[in-house]
Amino acid sequence: MPRLSLGLDSSTQKLQAIVIDIDTGEKVFDHSLDYRRDPRLNRFEINENYILPPLNEGEASQPPLMFFASLDAMSKDTPLEMRRDIVVINTSGQQHGHVYLVEFAHNLFDRLRRQIHRSKEWDLAQILGTSLAYDRAPIWMTSDTVQEADEIRELIGGKQRMIELSGSDSPLRFTGAVIRKTGKRNFGRNYIDTKRIQLIGNLIPAVLTGNTDTPADFANACGMSLMDYRKKEWSNELIEAVSKGLTNVGTHLRYKLPKLTSPDSVVGNIAEYFVKKYDFNENCQVVAGSGDNPQSKVLVSGDLLSLGTSFVNMTSTDGNTFDMQGFANAMYDGVGRPFIFGCRTNGAMVWDMVRADYSIAKEDYASGEKALARTEVGGKQMFFLQPRNESFPVSGIFKPTRIGYGIGFLPDDYNGIIESSLAAVYTHSKSFTRQTNETLYVTGGATASPEIMRRVAAMWNRPVIPIEKGGAALGAAVAGAYAYLRGQRESADIEVLSQRVLRRREPIYPRADDVNAYHGENGYLKRFETEEARLISANPVK
């Protein structure tokens, strides 16, 4: 009988399921449910941005009932013969997103375990619908919490203390700031009624096991401004800061938080609801789960650069290294390994915009390849474009800006935008990046371009290995397989498991002339830092 691991990723726009064969590494199932396009899920009033109509500018949330309904729909869509062979389920959820549950929720979730309901007639939304203290789940897109984030930082003692304690500089999207905002809204009504706060990545295991007290994992909790990063435990100091002024409103925050555990720990067996209704294996184990960023990092043990719509730089660390500038965030991955996460909002999107200006289709890297082959690596021409406010580093909008040339020409503009956007990631990651000759793994559509990979290898001055896109669902499946094998006392190597499921191409080595063009005494990177600093100063965030 095959032994299968199911990875579930509850993201902003969809629920994705990937099933892998634990013993062969073969991906046997990959299926996604779009929240707006699936008729079973498009009844929860989300708008074109996949969120509920905002209560005010910057508020962003989704309906928890939609998460429950998506689990039913995915269970039904997973082939019956496959469900019976799934021995472990691991999950991922959009980091920072969270759900507020009432005290009575414990009894409702328990019904999933003990079959005290009409399982053939009722679905999860019906059974768990009254478990919510707040009918909205705030998600990572929330941006109306500037005041709350600033209050937390000030109460802790400032930026340096905040970073040293939590690993991050009190970002406005982190869960702590949003909890504080929720506690203030409507005189704290929803906060008062809350017995348990669960992160989305850990809510799914709570449903799968029928237990509201399923612990949160310390990797996901890195995105909350509530955890002592080094100790991997809730910080009384941070809890007091987040709940200052809310402590006399209902139960104190510390009692609303679940216990913490490792992201790859088994938290129980699948509930009877899923066994009886969907014929899942009754011995199927459920893993604690984590956030989407930690689960994505599972797939490589080294440094990972993702060149997607946004650029994500995940740098492995010793667990004691922080970005004291406050641009990047210290985290752990889905098997507990430390790394630092920096996300640049204006990523490959601006590459697409430049290609579009020359009538080249989105992600048509082949046409751009010809243009890059005609340009000089690390030349005098620079091109800046920043259509959205940036967080890495914090800066405002840059209109198209050409430096070293005046008239737009595809090779100059395209090479210019690629080099400037890569240089921004490289430059602002130096404070927390290890000096190493180890491989840099790169994923995203740009891996199809040898010229772009050539520039990445030279700028980082490291061998580059392009890998296929993995994602959080695949990372969760791999981490789930790892947890299962350890529980069976079988040999388990997370890197071996990852290499089985994620194809790696041949390494690309930096060319000496290219490295000198970037890093030389009068090289591109020094000139870039000067020009970028000038633009940042002239274009503050508005």
Measured on CA atoms in the order 405, 407, 413, 417, is the torsion positive or negative?
A: positive
pLDDT tens per residue across span 319-337: 999 999 999 999 999 999 9
Say yes or no to pLDDT of 485 above 90: yes
User: Has residue 422 been placed in a domain?
Assistant: yes
User: Has residue 216 been placed in a domain?
Assistant: yes
Rounded to an integer, the average pLDDT of 181-193 is 86
Residues 251 and 366 in one domain: no
Q: Which of 433, 403, 432, 405 is nearest to 420 (CA)?
A: 403
User: Has residue 93 been placed in a domain?
Assistant: yes
Say yes or no to pLDDT of 171 above 80: yes
pLDDT of the residue at 248 = 62
Q: In the structure, what pLDDT confidence band is assigned to residue 34 with cuts at 50, 70 and 90?
A: very high
Side-chain half-sphere CA neighbours of 212 within 13 A: 22
Last residue of a domain, one of 278, 294, 310: 294
Rounded to an integer, the average pLDDT of 520-526 is 95
Q: Is 82 exposed, middle or buried (0-12, 13-18, 19+ CB in 10 A)?
A: middle
User: Has residue 84 been placed in a domain?
Assistant: yes
Say yes or no to pLDDT of 249 above 70: no
Residues 284 and 156 in one domain: yes
pLDDT tens per residue across span 486-510: 999 999 999 999 999 988 899 999 9
Residues 278 and 405 in one domain: no
pLDDT of the residue at 142 = 92
User: Has residue 181 been placed in a domain?
Assistant: yes
Say yes or no to pLDDT of 420 above 90: yes
Average pLDDT, the chain: 94
pLDDT of the residue at 242 = 96
Rounded to an integer, the average pLDDT of 531-538 is 96
Residues 290 and 362 in one domain: no
Strands 440-443, 260-261: parallel, antiparallel or unpaired by DSSP?
unpaired
User: Has residue 329 been placed in a domain?
Assistant: no
How many Cβ atoms from other residues are within 10 Å of residue 237's Cβ?
A: 16
Strands (E), 362-517: 382-386, 390-391, 394-395, 398-403, 440-443, 464-466
Residues 354 and 290 in one domain: no
pLDDT of the residue at 61 = 97
pLDDT tens per residue across span 91-149: 999 999 999 999 999 999 999 998 765 556 789 999 999 999 999 999 999 989 999 99
- Residue 466, preceding bond cis, omega within 30 degrees? no
Last residue of a domain, one of 294, 328, 360: 294
- 3 state DSSP class of 464: strand
Rounded to an integer, the average pLDDT of 511-523 is 96
- 3 state DSSP class of 269: strand
Residues 359 and 430 in one domain: yes
Assign residue 411 the CATH number of its domain: 3.30.420.40
Q: Is 433 exposed, middle or buried (0-12, 13-18, 19+ CB in 10 A)?
A: buried
Last residue of a domain, one of 255, 275, 294: 294
Residues 187 and 93 in one domain: yes
Asked if residues 486 and 90 have their Cβ atoms less than 8 Å apart, the reply is: no
Give me the domain span that covers residue 188.
4-294
How many Cβ atoms from other residues are within 10 Å of residue 146's Cβ?
A: 11
pLDDT of the residue at 363 = 73
pLDDT of the residue at 119 = 55
pLDDT of the residue at 118 = 58
pLDDT of the residue at 435 = 80
User: Has residue 335 been placed in a domain?
Assistant: no
CA gap 339, 319 in Å, rounded: 7
Residues 353 and 286 in one domain: no
Q: In the structure, what pLDDT confidence band is assigned to residue 366 with cuts at 50, 70 and 90?
A: confident
Cα 301 to chain centroid distance, Å, stands at 17
Residues 356 and 274 in one domain: no
Instruction: Give Cβ neighbours of residue 435 (< 8 Å, ≥ 6 apart).
Output: none
pLDDT of the residue at 493 = 93
Residues 399 and 274 in one domain: no
Rounded to an integer, the average pLDDT of 395-407 is 93
pLDDT of the residue at 309 = 85
Rounded to an integer, the average pLDDT of 67-90 is 97
* Domains held by the chain: number: 2
Residues 63 and 180 in one domain: yes
CA gap 174, 58 in Å, rounded: 14
Rounded to an integer, the average pLDDT of 6-13 is 96
pLDDT of the residue at 163 = 98
φ and ψ at 529, to 5 degrees? -60, -40
Say yes or no to pLDDT of 476 above 80: yes
* C-alpha R_g of the chain: 23
Residues 278 and 406 in one domain: no
Rounded to an integer, the average pLDDT of 47-59 is 94
Rounded to an integer, the average pLDDT of 25-30 is 96
